[in-house]
Chains A and B, each alone.
Chain A
């Protein structure tokens, strides 16, 4: 469906320096799927999205939708954004303050190349406003809408022309926390029902994990890893991805040799010898970084069975309601562990730490 190949987008900033926003970005989004570009601010995710929209002119690469090329540096094609027919929701929603709800949603149908009758427009607009539950507000001034309603109107406006592709630029970032969670479900429901191919840009990892069929993690213009939410979270391929998505413990170590199972290795690190998993082929004496998620650091007051078990001491703990964060000390090293709040070991007491080999991800040290 959407194909982006070797995309490079650069632009001069206010001081005239060239910002290398997107560097060799390549990905594909299958029909009906939601694809997320995830990364910290300035990583080039928004620029990539705007290049797909046609709001930025890339330097090189090719973008096509259903084999219709909308941009290609080699073929010299650049289709203007208003001729691409993609729907887009902007971060600020960009609701036109001088129009009411109906006029905002009807605008794409009035200005497009295809001429529609008044009645057709009315029907289509009412249908889409019903889908986003704004049908009772048609005559309301756009400026009198709440944040969540504006967001839904922006979505309705993007959907009204039944685009092949929907582009969402941090659509939830301007909402307060409660509403954001609610809209996350709404958005997911709507996307799954309409089966509209969507590219979603966000810096919020939980949003990305919750909504996406697949995620591309970007940093400094480059895509670091593409995968399903589970792959990205559980099997990060680089230190950056492991660090950016979720929280994690990093341990420096050196490979000793192959482990007991296929794909596992023994690694010597600060806390001792650990049995770990790696997708890369590792050799002895390779320097690696282990990533262990806090919820995979198991704590117990009685010694558990199996490998990768050490004795530790509680250094700090933070009660967060649904769970409790422990900082435990193994020798000189502190590990973060996220546990069920039923564990009440007092500070200073000893307990046992267990790391499952398949949850210890060895990454090549950068």
Chain B
């Protein structure tokens, strides 16, 4: 040590002022300010807007309760509420039943083809909601749906067997779409349970179903409730299915009504805000109870840390039934949707598979897509947005979660909650509130790519925070303190010790945010303008124009690209030792 580097210590003078403006406080300040700004402002403006008349050139905005009055006095709203409730409950139940059965089969039984279950964890990532919905229209529509036509043919029926353009159709498609999520959540729940609790039930003489019903399910009930709530919230937020399947036949739910209110002429933003506030209230309550449940769930934490895998239950001949169920499910969720898109992508005009159609295979849709003027621009926009938002989110949340996890600053729990706040925003509501804010506060970003960038960063910040927090908790406090004792400043410590050690979470979160950004639709749909389309918007536009075959070609390419991306992510994850 060189004592000369320090002023003589008789100097009791306080440190010079510039020293208190340390880089640490600048970085922390910027990150906190950014977080608060993007998480709180849109919500405040949405609330404000819902109480005011539209601001026009002729007339300033005035306080009014009319938005709520008109939203809640009409029987239309009651129907809306009822529809949303039926749709979300049905979707949540269907997804839950499918997901739980599959999770149980995979975790606890000797069902064959277990390797395929792995695919379930990546399907939700590689098949975006809009493509899944379009694929199911091609499969299940009463006029052109392949399944309908095939069944009609085989059984000689007059009427189509089912109609995807119905409440039941919506529940079917959305429930299927969210079932892998239920599978993942319930798998985690089953894994957290000590298998010896089940084995001791078996030793007490219980049969498979008694064990499953009386021990396994009873012990996992906090996880079950949490899973149901999460699925319910996801379903009530979902936009693609209600928009593509519900709107054409007049089945309205909150999300599709918000979209319609904005796109009507003149647009009724106040009404949309009132709907959005209601939707937000529902999702907030749902998310609140989920977090309550997961903290109460500690009481049921049955993890013993022994880490042994249970002996799988032998289903005997029933295992082939289980395998059949799984294969049918796998066909419904991956194979058929992808094949129907693939088929349609090689047609000149969409037609149902037949020998005649087989002779008319063509690459025209692909040619069209590759020469589509919007394509290169939307690919570019998508890449810029997803890479940019993933990078910004992971860096900002690394500082935020450092503050939350590693410091004792008062109010750090508040920061954690603020940064997680966007979790309760349905994509459409977030899009709406950001739209309103930048329409009113004109800083020149409305209609540019920046407004979408802000929306993406806001929407996916909680995911980045989760990944970083999980990783940050693993870093022992002393690793950082020993850097300080070695003479490193805060900035150096952060750059040379924290960030490298955070790498597993940082990389995993970065890739996850990138993947979900690439597929983002429900916020973008309210914020894009000509020139700032992203891929999912291009798909949406092709759908609106009725260009099904071209859409299919783009969809196939999109799914393949996402597949490659997810595979790279898995490989990187293994390399950097990321768990799940």
User: What residues of chain A have their CB less than 8 Å away from a CB belonging to chain B?
Assistant: 11-12, 53-55, 64, 66-69, 72, 75-77, 79-88, 90-94, 96-98, 107-108, 111-114, 154, 157-158, 161-164, 167
Q: A67-B9, A88-B481 are in contact. List 8 more A-B contacts (CB 8 A).
A: A54-B484, A68-B9, A82-B484, A93-B478, A98-B501, A107-B486, A111-B488, A161-B1
Distance in Å: Cβ of B460 to nearest Cβ of chain A: 27
* A67-B9, A68-B9, A94-B476 known; A161 vs B486 contact (CB < 8 Å): yes
Distance in Å: Cβ of B426 to nearest Cβ of chain A: 35
* A94-B481, A157-B482 known; A76 vs B12 contact (CB < 8 Å): yes
User: What residues of chain B have their CB less than 8 Å away from a CB belonging to chain A?
Assistant: 1-3, 5-6, 9, 12, 14, 408, 476, 478-479, 481-489, 492-493, 496-497, 500-501, 503
- Contact between chains at A111 and B478 (CB < 8 Å): no
- Contact between chains at A94 and B9 (CB < 8 Å): no
Distance in Å: Cβ of B293 to nearest Cβ of chain A: 22
Contact of B486 among A11, A72, A108 (CB under 8 A): A108
> Can you list 14 contacts pairing A with B, beta carbon distance less than 8 Å?
A53-B481, A55-B484, A81-B481, A82-B486, A83-B487, A90-B482, A96-B479, A98-B500, A108-B487, A108-B488, A111-B488, A113-B487, A161-B1, A163-B1
How far is A90 from B486 in the complex, measured between Cα atoms in Å?
12
- Contact between chains at B481 and A55 (CB < 8 Å): yes
* A68-B9, A76-B14, A107-B496 known; A81 vs B482 contact (CB < 8 Å): no
Contact of A111 among B1, B12, B492 (CB under 8 A): B492
A residues near B497, Cβ cutoff 8 Å: 96
Distance in Å: Cβ of B515 to nearest Cβ of chain A: 26
**Majority secondary structure, A binding face:** loop
Max count, chain A CB within 10 A of own CB: residue among B2, B5, B481, B487? B487
- Contact between chains at B485 and A77 (CB < 8 Å): no
**Nearest chain A residue, comparing its CB with the CB of B487:** A112
**Nearest chain B residue, comparing its CB with the CB of A91:** B478
- Contact between chains at B484 and A161 (CB < 8 Å): no
Distance in Å: Cβ of A117 to nearest Cβ of chain B: 16
**Nearest chain B residue, comparing its CB with the CB of A72:** B12
- Contact between chains at A114 and B5 (CB < 8 Å): yes
B residues near A76, Cβ cutoff 8 Å: 12, 14
Contact of B489 among A54, A82, A92 (CB under 8 A): A82
B residues near A83, Cβ cutoff 8 Å: 6, 487
How far is A11 from B3 in the complex, measured between Cα atoms in Å?
31
- Contact between chains at A82 and B488 (CB < 8 Å): yes
- Contact between chains at B485 and A162 (CB < 8 Å): no
Distance in Å: Cβ of B473 to nearest Cβ of chain A: 15
A residues near B489, Cβ cutoff 8 Å: 82, 111
How far is A69 from B14 in the complex, measured between Cα atoms in Å?
13
B residues near A97, Cβ cutoff 8 Å: 501
A residues near B9, Cβ cutoff 8 Å: 64, 67-69, 77
Distance in Å: Cβ of B319 to nearest Cβ of chain A: 42
B residues near A164, Cβ cutoff 8 Å: 1
* A76-B14, A77-B12, A98-B501 known; A68 vs B3 contact (CB < 8 Å): yes
Distance in Å: Cβ of A247 to nearest Cβ of chain B: 33
